[in-house]
Structure 1
């Protein structure tokens, strides 16, 4: 039993391509089995041997047209000045497309090119040439020809050709079986109650879907607890049933991560730690002549490890190359830092602004699944680089079609729930339009517009000198641009407190009380500007607040934090408090505007957005959240600089 203070030590930071090559070399040496399937069940499978035609297609001389079959040499005198008369049965026979050509006929005249001249008598005005409009035997498929080579993935059109040649069954490579073992004492199934300290297990479902999409057979197993003997038994079971075994979690340097030791006990460890971020703590080894892989528990790390190793292994097992992922050049909208010596894989939003594609990084945490859900692409920073500077041209691997990115509207600025609803209403209208939000704060949104890195910005910036919202900031930061403002929304700002308000907070003065933990918004956020204004108005120093420097990037993040700390509060909007069941103490209403260039406003996308803002559906959905008043008759306001 490993003592509490003992820690697993990484063997090395091996380059991932080197670690992969070891796996592929092993896979290449494995004996592969085959199976015979009916053609109709074999689509998507890979042929194990060449497949040859059982019959020709067509296997007779077939008419290619509706018309009459004739002997070509007996039609040579036909001319429009001397029509030739033909008698049914003696000189011609009626045929339809696909009919066999009766002997002794050797040509077909289309029915549109004949005229009736009497009972069972037709006339033609031009001669036929031998074999016109006739499909000869074997025109499509010739008996004995190779239809598909070995190692070919059968497509629907291939299945049609096989059946057309009367090939009813095919020998295909058996798909590799991949056993998937989630592990950890903290894991529960999705249908169980989530108590503090318990995590919902969903990686196994992700892995299963990925394995199946790549051509493998997933075998998702029950959760294995953090017990050395249970992990040992799981690996013994998995390596007797499957061709590849994955154990999720238990691959890091924790004191209870037994996977590496058990693999060493039962077989050998090839790799423990690769030079990537995320995805570093991967374990790869061999047990019972079967590849065993310890996949990191964090979802983002796990996703990349699956793509880097399991996908190419499955394709190699099936004798197929790993598909090349589409890439495109993008401009870095913000700086992306990296560590020297490790490949870094940054999830990004991508949108087309003007004639450039802009990429803005999402959360870098390996535990944030939504960074993969929301990502449009992946930017890879090589190990010899320290990062990417704003404005640099970089290559991104696309996770969504380029055509979809062309229709995406990039939003930067203050977080508001109405933006998600606006995106949904736009997509409902045409099925393709959408908004990709980047919750950077109001000031950062204006700067993104100024730099041409976003189409629209959402802002609510109070000018303490005038008591008005937004216009002074627009003139300061966007003074060289023709700007349109859409003042479409008023919303209620206030203090979000735990349900029941256990600390009896009634106003701004109460957040200074001892024991109250304040949860702040980031610098540049409109809510932060408002809160700092209120502190100054009440002659309160930020140093009097416990937690003032703890920052969140969205209203929902503030509300969620408040609900798990009964001694906390934070400034935010009413709809966020309502969404999590928190209480809300109003401070006042504020104006929330959408800002864009005049060029974007007048574009097709800009007009679609404007119409969605003015729709009754948008107004109803937003106001049903509570704390909102939507101006469905909003008119564009040109900001003169």
Structure 2
């Protein structure tokens, strides 16, 4: 099975039609990582002469320098160059789940065209780092998988409609579990479905390194000096935030930036890392990926939901075998804030949620793209 990789690329077109940026932003990112132009050239596979020419062209295009060369201190990006690099990071963070879904579709099409493959596992799931790890494992193991990132609500709805074999969603642990389950209840059928445990993970406030604003609680988000970046309505993380705000007696309209809506944890972290926001809610792994601070708020369990009868199929058995594999569990455990101790356990709905039978069966919105 082939692994397809799709990367976003943006460019700047000037009045005369000349295009800039494609390799320039990549070079600037390498300079930022390494601190020297020479090392950046090696990592980017560019000659020093060509890289220097890119920087000169960029300086002429923007009318301002992009890199400051300092004797004995290497190369330092100017504020303008920093903005270009972080714009690129935000684009990647925002589009990554969509591009991964498209890549998965192409992988499946190639697999079907090149081999007489049988049924291919169809997964729709809320985006998360453990799910990314599962997809990478399947690709490396040459096991076909058709993965589409959706919000938790959309994934559950797709399973009910027969559009997928596995639906990935997350449920808060503790105080907010019952309220979250009430919103998921319309799609959970204890008699005919089973849950497969993936991992637990921590959700919290993603803040700048060192937490210069001193943000410790949700109440701090209502301060005038705090800019917030939110997740999109319909995502499981947005649902959790809404429940926490309601419990704390806080009004989202008092939070500067509450009406924003990013589609991934990584996109929220990229906004904070670039200085465009002071805080957002997301998983700890996203905060650590961008070297940011993290204030824990709640724990979650991430499950895959499937029909009881599907557990006997080879495709589902391959999933369970993978989740129970010690090497796979070690990969998940290496993700900051993740715990794979119960990875691969198969549970009845009532086993995972003993109070489920006594909950009111509410209805939830299926808006949003990834959760």
User: What aligned pairs does 1:190-589 form with structure 2 within 5 A after superposition?
Assistant: 190-193=26-29, 225=57, 370=99, 374=103, 376-377=105-106, 398=109, 401-402=112-113, 403=115, 408-428=120-140, 431-462=141-172, 467-468=177-178, 472-479=182-189, 482-565=192-275, 567-589=277-299
Q: Deviations over 1:136-190 (max 9, x none)?
A: xxxxxxxxxxxxxxxxxxxxxxxxxxxxxxxxxxxxxxxxxxxxxx942685284
Deviation at 1:575, TM superposition (A): 1.2
Find 2:339's aligned residue among 629, 632, 641. Answer: 629
Q: Which runs of 4+ in 1 moved over 6 A?
A: 6-9, 463-466
In the alignment, structure 1 segments of 5+ residues that lack a partner are: 1-5, 10-181, 206-221, 229-297, 299-362, 379-396
Find 1:590's aligned residue among 300, 306, 314. Answer: 300
Deviation at 1:427, TM superposition (A): 4.3
Between the aligned partners of 2:233 and 2:192, the Cα distance in structure 1 is 26
Deviation at 1:401, TM superposition (A): 4.0
Deviation at 1:532, TM superposition (A): 0.4
**Higher alpha-carbon Rg:** 1
Between the aligned partners of 2:307 and 2:347, the Cα distance in structure 1 is 11
How many residues are treated as equivalent by the alignment? 289
Cα distance change, pair 192–417 in 1 and its aligned pair in 2 (3 A): same
Secondary structure class of the residue paired with 1:432: coil
Deviation at 1:191, TM superposition (A): 4.7
Cα distance change, pair 523–406 in 1 and its aligned pair in 2 (3 A): farther
Deviation at 1:423, TM superposition (A): 2.6
Structure 1 position 638 matched with structure 2 position 367: no
Q: Is the 8 A contact 2:120 2:144 kept in 1?
A: yes
Deviation at 1:409, TM superposition (A): 2.9
Secondary structure class of the residue paired with 1:415: coil
Q: Deviations over 1:218-240 (max 9, x none)?
A: xxxx8695899xxxxxxxxxxxx
Cα distance change, pair 508–436 in 1 and its aligned pair in 2 (3 A): farther
Secondary structure class of the residue paired with 1:590: strand
Q: Where does residue 139 of structure 1 map in the other structure?
A: none
Between the aligned partners of 1:369 and 1:440, the Cα distance in structure 2 is 9
Structure 1 position 184 matched with structure 2 position 184: no
Q: Is the 8 A contact 1:441 1:522 kept in 2?
A: no
Q: Is the 8 A contact 1:377 1:399 kept in 2?
A: yes
Between the aligned partners of 2:116 and 2:226, the Cα distance in structure 1 is 46
Greater helix content: 2
Between the aligned partners of 1:610 and 1:522, the Cα distance in structure 2 is 31
Deviation at 1:631, TM superposition (A): 2.8
Cα distance change, pair 372–537 in 1 and its aligned pair in 2 (3 A): closer
Q: Where does residue 367 of structure 2 map in the other structure?
A: none
Deviation at 1:622, TM superposition (A): 0.9
Q: Where does residue 109 of structure 1 map in the other structure?
A: none
Q: Select between 509-518 and 627-636 the one with higher mean Cα deviation.
A: 627-636
Asked which structure has the greater RCO (Cα within 8 Å, sep 6+), the reply is 2
Q: Is the 8 A contact 1:616 1:632 kept in 2?
A: no
Deviation at 1:496, TM superposition (A): 0.6
Cα distance change, pair 469–423 in 1 and its aligned pair in 2 (3 A): farther
Between the aligned partners of 1:407 and 1:227, the Cα distance in structure 2 is 53
